[in-house]
Structure 1
C-alpha cells in the first residue's frame, strides 16, 4: 500500500513537472523562434587599414609577409578550407601571393623575392618586374554596436583545436556527449544552491550558458534555471554541437577594453594578444578559456598573477581530460604572459574610426548600414598609428610634468613643496598625412579614448602662429608680378626674404578703438628681415607685413587653403581665427605639395560583405600657390626648425630635412613636414583656458618624438631635401649685411632662396653697393643704393603700392568684415640719433642681432 501511495505521489509529481515543463517549453518556443528569425549577431561593418606597399629595397622578410597575409585572412596553398580572401605559397627566398574573389585587389598574383632580410625584386604572373606591390589591407577593428560592444565573428573551423579543448576541459567536459544538460553536475549544483541559499548556478553546460546569455536576464532564481533548461533543449534540438559552440564562441563576454565591451574569442584574441584567433598558441588559448569564469577579476592587464594562476588551472584540466600531455602543459605553464600593448588608441584608432563612421553615415544616409557587414577600406597606416600613440604617451608625460611644476609651490625656501589639487591636464591631437596624396595615415584625437571620446582633431581652436606662413606666402605672391610693397617709412620694393620689416609696436585704429600688438616676449628689434621675423615668430613685424600685402589678400589665401574663418584684419596675421587641426593639416599641404592643396581623406572604398564595390572615393585637390611661392615659404620654415623657435626639434635628435612652425595662443601648436610626411600637433585645455606653455615646449617635442619614430619605418625613411622649382635661386648671404657673401667678408654666411631676379646683386664688401662713408651713414646723408629690380619675368606694368587694409582695434575685433572702410595707422616712432649711432634696429643677422629666448609663436 505504501509503495502504491509512493508510486502515485511520484507519478503526480512527475506529471506536475511534465505539465510545468510543457508549459514553459511551448511558451519559450515562440520567444526562441522569434529570436532565431533574425541573425544571432549583428554583422557590423569592418574597418580596414590602407594596403601595405612592398617595394624592392625594403627591409622585410618572407615570413613577415606571410604573417601579414595570414592576418588578412589568406590561407597557405594546400590548406583547407581555401580562404575567399586569397592564398599564398611560401618558399625559402620568396613568397607568391594569389588574391581571391573577395580580395580588395584585382586577382593579379605576384612573387616577392628576398635577399636576406631585404626585398630583392617583385614580379607579376608573367615574370615582368613590378616597382611595388600592395598586400591585402589588414582589419583594424569592427564598428561597435549601440551598446559599445565589439566582436569579430568567427566560424567553428577558424577556432584553434586547442581553444575548443581548453574551453570544454574547464567549462563542460562532456559537451560533445550530453544532450544539453549534465544531470550529475546539475543536481549537485542545485543541492549546493538550496543548502547555501546562494544561487551560484554551478553545473551549467556551454549550451545552458548560451541560452542564458541570449534569452534571459541576469537574475538568479530557481525558476530561471528551469527556463534555461527548456531553452537549452530547444537549442540542442535545432543545432549541431559545432553550431552551438560557434555561437558560444562569438557570444561569450571576455572583458572590457577602454570604453568597449569585448565579446567572443575573435575580438578577445585581438584585444589581449594582437592576433587573429587562428594564430593563438596553447597557453593563449588556456588564458582565454580561463577568463570565462570572471573576466573582470581575472583581467590579465590589471591582475596578471590571478590570470596566470587561472591559465595554469585550465592547463591542468586539459591534462586531466587527455587534451594535452603533462609535458605540453608544463611547457605552456613556463611561458610568461605575452600580452599586446593595451592601447585602444594605438591598436584600433578609435578617434579615426569615429570620423570614418560619421562619413559613412553622411555618404550612405542609411541608419542600418552597420548591420550589413560592410567592408570599409580606409587610409590608416597601423604602424604609424601605433607610432603616433607612443609619441603622444611620451610627449604628454613631459607636458604633465611641466604643468605639475607650474602648480607646485613652496611657502619658503626650506618648506616642503605643495601641489594644487585642482590641476587640469591638457588634451592633445595629432594628425599625420601624406602631403602628396592627402592620405590620413594616423590620427589621435585625445590622450585617452576610454576617458574621453571628444575628438580634438576636429575641434575649432585659434591657430596661433602656425598661421603666419600664409602671411609670408601672400607676400611672395606679390613678387610674382613684380609688385612693390611699401612699408610705413614709405620705402617700396619687391618682397624677398631680406625685405626689412618694422618690429616696433604700432597702433592700429578702428573708429575710436585702438589695437597695439606686441611680441610674445615683448622684445623689439626695430627693422628686421622677413626671414628673421618668421624665424623668431615676431608678431609686430608679421602684422606689418600683412598690412603691406593687404589683410584681405592674406585672409583670402587662407580661406582658399581651407581656413574658412579667416577675415581681413590685423589679427588674422597672428592666428586669431580658429580652425581644426584636421583643417590646418590640409591647409599646410599647399606648402608641402608644391602649391596644390589636397583635401585630407580617410575613406577609400565601401564594399559589401562579399567584397563587391558599393562606392570608391577619390581625393580632391586644387592649385592654390605657385610652386615657387610654396618653396620660398618652405625655405623660410626650414630656417625656423634649423635656427628659430623650433630649433628644439633638432636638439631632440630629429635630423631629417624638414620645415615647420610653432604656434601659441591659449593652446600650443606645431606644424611641420618632411618630403613625404606632414604632421600637426595640438595641445590645449578643453575649457579654452591658457595652458601657459608655448608651442616649442608642449607641441614641438611631441612632433619630434613622432617624426623620429616615423622616419625609422621603411615606408618613411627615404626623406629628401626640398627641391627648388625652376625660377628660384638660392644664394649665400653674409649675416652682417644680408648681401651676397664673398671671400672679402668676415663672419658666417647663410643660404636664402629668392625668386629669380629678386636676389641681392651687391656683395658684402660693398664694391657695388653703398659707397657712403661712416659719417654719411650715421647722419643719413648722401644717396642710398637702389633696391633689387623686379623679377626679370615680370613684363606687365608694375601695380601701384598696396594700400594698408582695415586694422581692428584689438584681437577680439578680429572678425571685422572684409569690406570695412580704410583705417588709419598711427605713425611709428623714428629711430633717433643715438639709436642710429649705436645700432638699435640693425639689419637681420642671426649672430649679430640680439638673440631672444625662443619665441613660441
Structure 2
C-alpha cells in the first residue's frame, strides 16, 4: 500500500511540471500576442503621427531686401548696418555666402541663396566701389556690368509669439559636421543599431556605477526622438518601455537619414519667455543670428552641448557651464577625428560668441509689427499666422530703422539733460515713409524701441497744433483767382463768440500782431492770427474737406480752433497727411506689407501700391514752396545748421498749449518723417516744435541719403517777381522784388513803379510767347532759391534782341520818337484785362492794315515788271514798311 502511494507521488511530479510548462507556454503565447497587438497599436499610432505630422510654425517676417544700384547714394555706415541686419560677416577674403570684404572703398559681397516673393535668387558674388557716398562700378562675379543687384532679405522676427517655434531643415541641408558631431556625442552606434543599443545601455551603466550617479544615458537618438514627439519628460519605466518598442518600430519603417533629420528639427534647445526654441535651425539664429550652414565648429559644439540640457547650460545665464560643455564636445570631436588637433586648440580658445539676449528677440520691432498685423488680419486668420509658417515680406529698411531708433532714444535723453527736464520723463515716436511708394521704412513707438508696450506711433492721439495749418493755406491756394503766395493776409487780433457764450481769441506765439503779411510768410512764420482769419474766410467745412483729401481720417471738430490744431492725430496719421503734400498731391496709402507666401516660398500674394489724386499738382507745389520757406526762413530754419543746403527740405513745427506736445513733420524729395515728443501724463514739457521734435527730425534726416538739386515745377506753374504788396514787377521796366511761383490762372496786379506800355504785345501774340511756354516745366527751378542765373541770362538776351529789332523797325519807318505818357494802370484786374483786350484788338487792326499794304506794294511791283524774287519779303517783322 505504501509502495503504491510512492509510485503515484513520483508519477504526479512530471505531470505537474508539464502542466506548469503548458500554462507558462500559454501565458507566454498570450503575452506575445498581447505584445504583438500592442506593437501593432503603437505602430499605427507611430505611422499616423509621423506621416501626417506638420510643424506648427509662426509666420516669419523679412525686411525689404537692399537693392544695390549704379549711382545709388549710400554711406559706408549705412551699408554696414544693412550687413549687420543680414548677419553678414566681414572677412579678409570671401570663403562662403554671407560674407563681405572691403579694401579701401572697394567692396565684395557674397550673397546668400534666398527665396524672394518673386522667386529664388542663388548665391552670387558682387563687387562695387563706394566713392563720395555713391555706388559705382557695380559688377557681377564674371566681371559683367550690372545695373542693380539685390541682396537677400533680413529675417526680422516672427509673428504672434509664444508656443513652439522652429525653423525646420531638410537632411540635404544639414552640415555634415553637425550630423557627425551629434552621432559622436549622443549615439555612437546610431548607424548600426535597430533603435535600441544594448552596448550603449551597458556603457551608460558602467559610467554611472563608476561615477556613483547618473552621468550618462543609454537612450539612442531614435529613442530620444520618440520621447520628444510622443511623451513628456517625466521619467518612468513604462515610458522607457514604450520608447524602446516605438524606437524599434521607427527603425523598421524609416531610414536613418530621416530619423536624424527629425531629431535635429525636434530637439529642445532653449526658451524665450513663452516661446520654446526647437531644432538646430532656429537655435542657430537664436544664439548666433546666423544660418545653420554658416556655423563654425565651436558654435556647432555649443549647440550640440545644449541638447543635453538647454536650461542648465544656458550661455547667457550660465556662461561658464556653457563654455565647459562646449569644450567637452570639442574634445569628442577631436577624438573622433572630426577636427584636427590644431583646430581643437584654436576653437577651445574662442569665446562663446553668442549674440546678445536682446538681439535674439522674437519681435525686435514691435511698433512696426503691430501695424503689419493690422494689414494682415483682413487676409489671414490668427491661426494661419501662428501655425502655417507663412513668409511675410515687408517694407522695413533695417538701416533706416536703426538710425531712427538711435535718434529717438539718444535725442530724448539729450534734451532731458540739456534742458533740465526730469530724466526718463519724455516719450517719443517717429514714422518714416517713402514718398513715392508709401512704404513704411521705419517706425518707433517708444524711446525704448524694442519695448513691446504702448505704441505711440499708432495709438497716441495728441493735438497736432500748427501741423494742421498747411491744409488751411492749401485750401486758399486751390483758388488761384482769389489767393496766391503773395496775397496779403491780415495778421490782426480776432475775436469770435460762440453760441454758448464762449469767446475764442487766439494769439501769436510772440503775443504780437504783424499786420499785412504775404500768405507764404504767414505759413512760414506760423502766424496764428493770419491763419485763423484766412481759415474763417475760406470756411471751416472747406478746410475740413481739404484735410480729408490729404488722407486724414481722424475726427475733425467743427470749431474755429480746429484751424490752429485742435485736432487729435497719431504720428502715423500725420505722416500720411504730409506724405501727400510731399508726393505732389497724390495720396499713396502707407503700407508695411509687400507680399506673403507659404513656407516654401510658393503661392505668393502681392500687395500693390494704392494711390489716388487728392490734390491738384499746382497748389500742392505752391504749398511745398511755402513749407520750404518755413525751413529756410521760418520756424524750421535751425535745421539748416546741420542739413545740407543743396537738398530741398520742407516741413512744419507744431506746439500745443502749455508745451504739452512737440511736433515736427517734414520731408525731403524722397522721404517723409514725423517726430512727436511729449509726456504720457500729458504734463508740460517746456519744448516747442523747434526746440524739441525738430532736433530729432534733423538728426534722422542728416543721416539719410537724399537727392540733391532742385524740385521740378509741374505744368501750370510760372515764376514771377512781386513786391512787398504782392504786385507784379515787370522785369522789362524795373528790377528787384521776390520771385515766387504762381498758377497760370493767377492774374497779378501790376506794380505802379514798373509802369510802361508794352507797344509790341501784338508781336508776341502773333508769333507766340516762347517764354511762357518754356516756363511751364521749369526743370531747373528750385522754390526758395530764386531764378536760375542761366535762365535769367537767356531771357535778358532774348529781350535785348527784341528791343534791337524794334529799334530798327522804328528807324525804317522814320517815325519821330516822342516821349510817352506814363501808363496809368487800372485799379482792378478786371479793368486791366479789358484794357489789354482793347489794346490787342488795336494791334491786330494795325497788323492787318500793314499786311494789306504789303500786298498792294507786291502787286504794283509785279505790274511794273519787277521779278517777284527781287521784291521785299515782307513776312518778317523787322522788314515791314
Tell me if TM exceeds 0.5: yes
* Residue 580 of structure 2 corresponds to residue 582 of structure 1: no
* Residue 619 of structure 2 corresponds to residue 629 of structure 1: yes
- CA distance in 2 between partners of 1:30 and 1:791 (Å): 99
- CA distance in 2 between partners of 1:39 and 1:260 (Å): 20
**CA RMSD of superposed structures (Å):** 5.4
Deviations 1:604-662 (A, max 9, x none): 33344554445333222111222222222222222333344334434455664311223
Aligned to 2:628: 638
Please say if residues 365 and 449 of structure 2, whose CA atoms lie closer than 8 Å, have aligned partners that are also in contact.
no
Aligned to 1:474: 475
- CA distance in 1 between partners of 2:215 and 2:682 (Å): 51
Aligned partner of 2:700 among 672, 690, 706: 706
Aligned to 1:524: 512
CA spacing shift, 1:461–1:330, aligned 2, 3 Å:
same
Aligned to 2:561, the other structure's residue is in SS state: helix
Please say if residues 57 and 386 of structure 2, whose CA atoms lie closer than 8 Å, have aligned partners that are also in contact.
yes
Matches within 5 A, 1:491-570: 494-496=483-485, 499-502=488-491, 504=493, 506-519=495-508, 523-527=511-515, 529=517, 530-564=519-553, 565-570=555-560
Please say if residues 113 and 119 of structure 1, whose CA atoms lie closer than 8 Å, have aligned partners that are also in contact.
no
Please say if residues 497 and 753 of structure 1, whose CA atoms lie closer than 8 Å, have aligned partners that are also in contact.
no
Aligned to 1:846: none
Aligned partner of 2:340 among 302, 325, 342: 325
Query: What's the TM-score once normalised by structure 2's chain length?
Result: 0.66
Aligned to 2:862: none
Aligned partner of 2:69 among 55, 64, 80: 55
Deviations 1:814-856 (A, max 9, x none): xxxxxxxxxxxxxxxxxxxxxxxxxxxxxxxxxxxxxxxxxxx
Aligned partner of 2:596 among 598, 606, 615: 606
- CA distance in 1 between partners of 2:202 and 2:448 (Å): 48
- CA distance in 1 between partners of 2:170 and 2:724 (Å): 71
Please say if residues 466 and 662 of structure 1, whose CA atoms lie closer than 8 Å, have aligned partners that are also in contact.
yes
Matches within 5 A, 1:155-554: 155-181=170-196, 204-221=219-236, 223-256=238-271, 260-295=275-310, 299-300=314-315, 307-336=322-351, 338=353, 342-343=358-359, 349-364=365-380, 367-368=383-384, 371-398=387-414, 405-407=420-422, 426=427, 428-447=428-447, 451-459=451-459, 461-464=461-464, 465-478=466-479, 480=480, 482-483=481-482, 494-496=483-485, 499-502=488-491, 504=493, 506-519=495-508, 523-527=511-515, 529=517, 530-554=519-543
Greater mean deviation of Cα atoms: 150-159 or 310-319: 310-319
Following superposition, the deviation at residue 160 of structure 1 comes to 2.3
Please say if residues 657 and 722 of structure 1, whose CA atoms lie closer than 8 Å, have aligned partners that are also in contact.
yes
- CA distance in 1 between partners of 2:568 and 2:349 (Å): 57
- The number of equivalent residue pairs is 707
Please say if residues 621 and 714 of structure 2, whose CA atoms lie closer than 8 Å, have aligned partners that are also in contact.
yes
Following superposition, the deviation at residue 476 of structure 1 comes to 1.5
Query: What's the TM-score once normalised by structure 1's chain length?
Result: 0.68
In structure 1, runs of 5+ residues without a counterpart are 74-91, 409-422, 484-493, 712-716, 770-784, 796-857
- CA distance in 2 between partners of 1:203 and 1:556 (Å): 76
Larger radius of gyration: 2
Aligned to 2:695, the other structure's residue is in SS state: helix
Aligned to 2:64, the other structure's residue is in SS state: coil
- CA distance in 1 between partners of 2:385 and 2:401 (Å): 26
Aligned to 2:50: 36
Aligned to 1:660: 651
Aligned to 1:546, the other structure's residue is in SS state: helix
Aligned to 1:674: 668
Please say if residues 143 and 150 of structure 1, whose CA atoms lie closer than 8 Å, have aligned partners that are also in contact.
no
Q: Which has the higher helix share?
A: 2
Please say if residues 493 and 505 of structure 2, whose CA atoms lie closer than 8 Å, have aligned partners that are also in contact.
no
* Residue 581 of structure 2 corresponds to residue 594 of structure 1: no
Deviations 1:359-413 (A, max 9, x none): 333125685465444443333333333443343443344366579x5347xxxxx
Deviations 1:699-732 (A, max 9, x none): 3333333333332xxxxx4344333334445578
CA spacing shift, 1:734–1:211, aligned 2, 3 Å:
farther
Please say if residues 161 and 274 of structure 2, whose CA atoms lie closer than 8 Å, have aligned partners that are also in contact.
no
Greater mean deviation of Cα atoms: 608-617 or 572-581: 608-617
Larger relative contact order (CA 8 Å, sep ≥ 6): 1
Please say if residues 345 and 444 of structure 1, whose CA atoms lie closer than 8 Å, have aligned partners that are also in contact.
no
CA spacing shift, 1:789–1:741, aligned 2, 3 Å:
closer
Aligned to 2:399, the other structure's residue is in SS state: helix
CA spacing shift, 1:352–1:599, aligned 2, 3 Å:
same
